[in-house]
């Protein structure tokens, strides 16, 4: 058999080979003109959906919270009545028609030691308009502030003559800051009747002192009083954060209205509190706030 016999094709075979070649060429040309497909990015649709739902839930809770606050303040009826800007709480200011942020500014000013000594001093509140000031001026009733004479005695070299009416303890004597009454307090050199009443009054508001330095909060020279006092922390009266009402909480010097309201709402939505650490994620509470509150709360 000759080698040419291997390359002999019948008519039908030649037609088949021709058609195959045409198809190959057509496919090659088609691949040339069709652009390559880009690899699609594989997305974790489940994760994205869960994240979107979580984010939406947080935003919805925040909107509901802001709406609740807004509705509460919008529905508040303005009641013009006599008030003392040195002792009124945030609810009193809101009832007078002042916005929440302004009430908070007034409380912050007082917490830093600010005092209103005459009705005209109320004009210094940031954001208070002339119309608001004019409306509230007739209702401002400021009680006489404690005399400063007793405070000055803490810095005097020797006590004034009127302190000789009381027997004074000798140096080295110590008394309980949480148990001493006004008479016993006045036996400390430099403490008169006014300061004694201030100490007892503030002690009652707090529920007891946990350190002598807290006397600085009523503008007393705690460093000069340290040698005269002992403090027993087990004598402090605590509030149960799982039972205390808004009114009870906001009467304490370390809780304002907004913090008291938030604690009660937290209990309703998320159940019992077991630690103050649960409140640190709220803007209304700073680390200093929580540290000061710690001795005065319990969760039983």
How many residues in the chain?
300
| Cβ count near 10 (within 10 Å) | 8
CA–CA gap between residue 94 and residue 73 (Å, rounded): 8
- Helix, strand, coil percent values for the chain (each to nearest 5): 55, 5, 40
Mean pLDDT of 162-184: 82
Place of tokens 């500014």: 105
According to DSSP, residue 140 is labeled B
- Classify residue 259 as exposed, middle or buried by CB count within 10 Å of its CB (0-12, 13-18, 19+): buried
Question: Is the distance from CB of 166 to CB of 184 less than 8 angstroms?
Answer: no
Q: How far is CA 247 from CA 100, 218, 261, 274, in A?
A: 17, 23, 9, 21
Tell if the pTM clears 0.75, that is, is over it.
no
Whole-number CA gyration radius for the chain: 39
99 vs 128: CA distance, rounded Å: 10
Instruction: Specify the DSSP element, H or E, that contains 132.
Output: helix 130-136
**Which range scores top for mean pLDDT: 94-103, 110-119, 246-255?**
246-255
Q: What is the mean pLDDT of the chain?
A: 81
DSSP characters over 175-189: EETTT--HHHHTTST
Residue 68 pLDDT: 63
Which pLDDT value is given to residue 147? Answer: 55
Q: Is 262 left (phi over 0), alpha (psi -120 to 50) or beta?
A: alpha
pLDDT tens for 62-81 read 777 666 655 555 556 777 78
Distance CA 229, CA 94 (A): 40
CA distance 109 to 284: 16
Nearest to 181 by CA among 196, 168, 192: 196
pLDDT, one tens digit per residue, over 140-170 is 888 876 655 454 445 444 445 454 445 789 9
Backbone angles phi, psi at 32, to 5 degrees: -70, -40
């Amino acid at each position: 058999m000759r080698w040419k016999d291997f390359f002999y094709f019948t008519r039908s075979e030649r037609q088949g080979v021709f058609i195959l070649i045409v198809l190959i060429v057509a496919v090659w040309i088609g691949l040339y003109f069709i652009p390559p497909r880009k690899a699609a990015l594989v997305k974790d649709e489940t994760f994205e959906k869960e994240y979107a739902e979580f984010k939406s839930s947080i935003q919805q809770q925040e909107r509901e919270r802001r709406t609740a606050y807004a509705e509460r303040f919008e529905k508040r009826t303005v009641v013009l009545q006599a008030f003392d800007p040195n002792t009124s709480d945030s609810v009193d200011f809101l009832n007078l028609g002042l916005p929440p942020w302004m009430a908070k500014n007034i409380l912050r000013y007082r917490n830093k030691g600010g005092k209103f000594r005459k009705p005209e001093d109320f004009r210094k509140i940031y954001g208070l308009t002339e119309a608001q000031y004019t409306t509230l001026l007739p209702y401002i009733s400021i009680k006489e502030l404690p005399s400063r004479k007793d405070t000055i005695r803490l810095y005097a070299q020797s006590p004034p003559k009127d302190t000789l009416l009381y027997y004074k303890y000798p140096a080295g004597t110590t008394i309980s800051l949480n148990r001493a009454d006004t008479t016993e307090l006045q036996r400390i050199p430099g403490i008169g009747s006014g300061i004694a009443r201030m100490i007892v009054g503030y002690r009652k508001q707090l529920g007891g002192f946990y350190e002598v330095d807290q006397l600085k909060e009523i503008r007393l020279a705690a460093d000069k009083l340290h040698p005269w006092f002992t403090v027993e922390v087990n004598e402090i009266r605590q509030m149960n954060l799982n039972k205390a009402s808004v009114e009870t909480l906001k009467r304490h010097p370390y809780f304002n209205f907004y913090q008291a309201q938030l604690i009660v709402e937290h209990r309703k939505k998320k159940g019992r509190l077991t630690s103050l650490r649960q409140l640190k994620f709220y803007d209304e509470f700073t680390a200093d706030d929580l540290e000061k509150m710690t001795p005065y709360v319990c969760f039983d």
